[in-house]
Structure 1
């Protein structure tokens, strides 16, 4: 037998991933999956080749319509468990009241505006959709990482998305809102101003899915056994805190690793660093809601935590990656109407529209009302009804009764629904049929001011820069000016700062900003750091907890973080091993980056190189000692850039012993006056000054202590206010 014929026979014996013999979709064994049926070795392909036709036909129809919004996503399996039965006074939902339940969940995270091929780190809202397979049926909590939305009424949703998407005449820009049509719509939609403050903040560029809040957005109802209802707002709080990227970092990540968030989720679960969130609720009654100066049915408003504190009631852990992206992540169908007994909707007009739209979307994407029978959507609870037929029916229904009431085949015509089944809460409704907005929805600036006032100085500066960038991309001056008028009503200094960047004057506020603010970072920060009283003279809330990422309220944890260890042949292997061990104990990971892949020094091998990675892929950078290795690193421009870029982005940096020489060779070393060798100095020495900014420099005499200090610094996540950052070209 010739070598080529033997090869062909091996191919013909191919098996599936499950190592089962290859077969057709009808179960027919396949003898050869690599050659079509032809009339002779060089002859035409025969139409009778049903194997070829089936394979090509299935391939030709592999793609389903991508989601209009939330097209790019990643997902994981896990579980949810409630801590105790304390919510039983508010609801009969078992998932929220039975601590013995371990409810399976499937969670999908996503961006909103971009297509499936866009980058993960675009400035955008992130979807946070949770499907819980409860004993009472599926509960889908379909939310975002931002607690409010752009619009108050679902009838405006198509307009919002059409404006935010790439402009239809040229399909530009992809996954970005920095263009005319989006800001034209926003400038003509005052109700969007609160959401705009969130989207222009660091919340729109999260560090990872695991370090991101989730919100149900709408106000829902919980109903107890007596039929008494309370309002509820849902929050997902990440175990290790909510943290963000910085804008320059997000831009570079889009090129360095467009799958940054998706890969982080997958690799974290594979490594056993399972993401975890607590479910927190705000529960309040009608009387309490009536006292608020906003309407709880308005999806552009939050219920401030200072008015109704969070109550943490359970935890969710994601511990298993999908087996098949298409079958699970792509085919999962979330439905805002998927609630269970003990829950109900409110009259929120945005929620009411979503309840219609989600069903309509699934019918379009998945092609049949039987989408709920797909494995990823199928409830674990018993499904029994008289629905029949339609495309792709999976259930084989027996018997002749497909109607009710019925008396045939043992059916009881007097039977009614289960007493503990779903019942809508009885709400008294009255009013004329009309198209108008309630006057209680009319305040469009109060909570935008609340968000601004609740931010730190650094966060305010980031919002101003984000608005300046986005609006500078708008070619139509009238749109830019309209937006400045809105910003003037939120905060005059903000309007003036953005106006300066656009070459415009916003009202009379320009005089409030000193001329040096555009070039002097210290003055700029001072402008945005003005203190705000928690309440106004009228008693209205001016600032509140839970809105800032940098106010010190986030948990300090190194878990899930990735540290780049810069090394070369001759670097100190023992120091690297010590760091690796300490990071592992903290739930973090060390990755050695070297001039080439493979063995470097001792048992240390490089897993990445300076050619295929950069500091934006990591949360911190560490340089061990070892004079020969450090000497090589100082001669590599990318290694010096690693440290400069990490400093510019506020990331923790650690250097040990001779590693100090590499730091001294950077732009940061020159600007700070750091030398390659330690000098007897005071608390004002360059090393001491840098340490206060999260740059740890140790002589190597006590490696264990130095490594522990670095891990503690890593737990702080970021040091955003570094005075030399703006001077570093990295």
Structure 2
């Protein structure tokens, strides 16, 4: 049966390749060029003679500049991959404002209905390494860079409306618990479930990860969420607080575990291929952009911490307000240059958007910046895909590892100065980010609401089955601890998991 399925799948893939921009990219390039695009050169621009490019036998290698140039470059072609979100698909397009929210936020990208702002988007599994599969059971990163008139604004979100932990001190613990065991170099369910049961606030998000939404059917059908409650101001300095939501116009679709396994066997790059193929065929994916809006009084009287990223803001209390729509209509010309080097940071904010006052947001401002320095060097914002498109950056930073572009040319390299270097602007109504007190995390009520009222009976059954796949092989004391917390989430959930474990039905389960 499996052989028949694989043959049928491969045949279907072969049929699609005739009109497949992803499969035929290099063929399309040939058809669009009348012949060789020019004489090949060294990286210094010197033309390369035919014999040097074709054979080195019986010749002096060190005098063959093509050989020396290409070989020494080859061993330096890889940069450190992202610790998390290493594998990704991405594309470019535009955001269009469809509703006036200037009374809420003065950011220029929202200043007029019909206004368009260029965007770059990157979608990525969290745990999967660069050579891994696109159909893993995992949360997904959902990052958008808006190239606004006031510089770049980045939303570094997820495909779940909540995050894993409330205290950023747990960031290193969470990452390491999901990565490979340092002794075996294997992914270890004991490590994951140790984290989840030591930090039970994480179970709220992982009910989605283990549920039907745990494996998106490609990126075009995946929603996104900003996860943080952002503080924004209008022209009068009045504060509001918003959460971003992105819903695909093509509808939300997800894969079942068995479907995901079969796809992984024949196309580990399923989601990346699907996104590239759709855009290449002119089927441009788009998302509706909405926000939840809270006033300062709403924040004070919410009855819970609205800045807790492990919680959602109830839609019945804080309904969605449409803001705009974004469309992805351009594939990258070169993946490494435009997607691998695409650097996002929560610190990329613009006037009118102050960011989140929670500690996770504050920690991410440091972590993302530090990651870019490590991976891309001190001048990562001078890499073209990270440059602000609609304004010219006038920073006093100089020198460092390339690219440095014009390196600030001949104007002063320190501030303040008396010699007409760039000056800071003055905002007489500049607000300060709200200072908040955050209590210990406790989101069992929302997790219970998700299980009992937002999942159908069929979805709850599949959730239990998927949890058993993951929990079944782990050590007994972690199983007991997990059952205890699942019973707190909801007695039915805990009892069903306990029964599944007791029935010893997990011996053949495996994680995808």
TM-score past 0.5 threshold: yes
Give 1:221-240 correspondences, 5 Å limit.
221-240=231-250
Question: In structure 2, what is the Cα distance between the partners aligned to 1:161 and 1:463?
Answer: 23
- 1:399 and 2:410 matched: yes
Question: In structure 2, what is the Cα distance between the partners aligned to 1:107 and 1:215?
Answer: 13
Find the partner of 2:90 among 69, 75, 80: 75
Find the partner of 2:46 among 10, 28, 32: 28
| Aligned residues of 2:232 and 2:352 also touching (Cα < 8 A) | yes
Give 1:172 deviation, angstroms.
1.5
| Aligned residues of 1:219 and 1:231 also touching (Cα < 8 A) | yes
Residues 16 and 292 of structure 1: is their aligned pair in 2 closer, same or farther, counting only changes over 3 Å? farther
- 1:254 and 2:279 matched: no
Question: In structure 2, what is the Cα distance between the partners aligned to 1:456 and 1:428?
Answer: 39
Other-structure match for 1:425: 431
Question: In structure 2, what is the Cα distance between the partners aligned to 1:462 and 1:123?
Answer: 13
Give 1:254-403 correspondences, 5 Å limit.
254-366=264-376, 368-380=377-389, 381-392=391-402, 393-403=404-414
Q: Is the partner of 2:220 in helix, strand or coil?
A: helix
Q: 1:417-464, CA deviations, whole angstroms, 9 ceiling, x for partnerless residues?
A: 22469x86325659xxxxxx843x442311111111221111111111
Residues 144 and 34 of structure 1: is their aligned pair in 2 closer, same or farther, counting only changes over 3 Å? farther
Q: Is the partner of 2:364 in helix, strand or coil?
A: helix
Q: Is the partner of 2:371 in helix, strand or coil?
A: helix
Q: 1:466-502, CA deviations, whole angstroms, 9 ceiling, x for partnerless residues?
A: 111110121x100010000000001111111111111
Residues 225 and 479 of structure 1: is their aligned pair in 2 closer, same or farther, counting only changes over 3 Å? same
Give 1:406 deviation, angstroms.
2.0
Q: Which has the higher contact order (CA 8 A, sep 6+)?
A: 2
- 1:103 and 2:117 matched: yes
Q: Is the partner of 1:210 in helix, strand or coil?
A: coil
| Aligned residues of 1:153 and 1:353 also touching (Cα < 8 A) | no
Give 1:626-637 correspondences, 5 Å limit.
none
Question: In structure 2, what is the Cα distance between the partners aligned to 1:33 and 1:278?
Answer: 56
Question: In structure 2, what is the Cα distance between the partners aligned to 1:404 and 1:33?
Answer: 54
| Aligned residues of 1:341 and 1:420 also touching (Cα < 8 A) | no
| Aligned residues of 2:61 and 2:68 also touching (Cα < 8 A) | no
Residues matched between the structures, number: 470
Q: Is the partner of 1:398 in helix, strand or coil?
A: coil
Gaps of 5+ in 1: 1-14, 431-436, 506-517, 519-730
Residues 172 and 426 of structure 1: is their aligned pair in 2 closer, same or farther, counting only changes over 3 Å? same
Give 1:466-615 correspondences, 5 Å limit.
466-474=466-474, 476-503=475-502
Residues 323 and 420 of structure 1: is their aligned pair in 2 closer, same or farther, counting only changes over 3 Å? farther
Give 1:143 deviation, angstroms.
0.6
Other-structure match for 1:138: 152
Give 1:32 deviation, angstroms.
2.7
| Aligned residues of 1:154 and 1:353 also touching (Cα < 8 A) | yes
Question: In structure 1, what is the Cα distance between the partners aligned to 2:230 and 2:108?
Answer: 17
**The 10-residue stretch of structure 1 (254-263 or 483-492) with the greater mean CA deviation from structure 2:** 254-263
Residues 169 and 275 of structure 1: is their aligned pair in 2 closer, same or farther, counting only changes over 3 Å? same
Question: In structure 2, what is the Cα distance between the partners aligned to 1:199 and 1:112?
Answer: 11
| Aligned residues of 2:163 and 2:309 also touching (Cα < 8 A) | yes
Residues 334 and 428 of structure 1: is their aligned pair in 2 closer, same or farther, counting only changes over 3 Å? closer
Q: 1:342-380, CA deviations, whole angstroms, 9 ceiling, x for partnerless residues?
A: 0012321111110100000001111x2111111111111
Residues 75 and 34 of structure 1: is their aligned pair in 2 closer, same or farther, counting only changes over 3 Å? farther
Root-mean-square deviation (CA, aligned residues, Å) is 2.2
| Aligned residues of 1:128 and 1:143 also touching (Cα < 8 A) | yes
Rg larger in structure: 1
Other-structure match for 1:450: 449
Q: 1:513-544, CA deviations, whole angstroms, 9 ceiling, x for partnerless residues?
A: xxxxx9xxxxxxxxxxxxxxxxxxxxxxxxxx
Gaps of 5+ in 2: 1-32, 506-512
| Aligned residues of 2:242 and 2:291 also touching (Cα < 8 A) | yes
| Aligned residues of 1:37 and 1:49 also touching (Cα < 8 A) | no
Question: In structure 2, what is the Cα distance between the partners aligned to 1:371 and 1:181?
Answer: 34
What is the TM-score with the length of structure 2 in the denominator?
0.87
Give 1:97 deviation, angstroms.
2.3
Give 1:271 deviation, angstroms.
1.2
Question: In structure 1, what is the Cα distance between the partners aligned to 2:343 and 2:327?
Answer: 21
Other-structure match for 1:43: 58
Question: In structure 2, what is the Cα distance between the partners aligned to 1:384 and 1:130?
Answer: 23
**The 10-residue stretch of structure 1 (27-36 or 109-118) with the greater mean CA deviation from structure 2:** 27-36
| Aligned residues of 1:152 and 1:299 also touching (Cα < 8 A) | yes
What is the TM-score with the length of structure 1 in the denominator?
0.62
Q: 1:59-114, CA deviations, whole angstroms, 9 ceiling, x for partnerless residues?
A: 11111011100001010111101013x21101110112223432111101110101
Other-structure match for 1:549: none
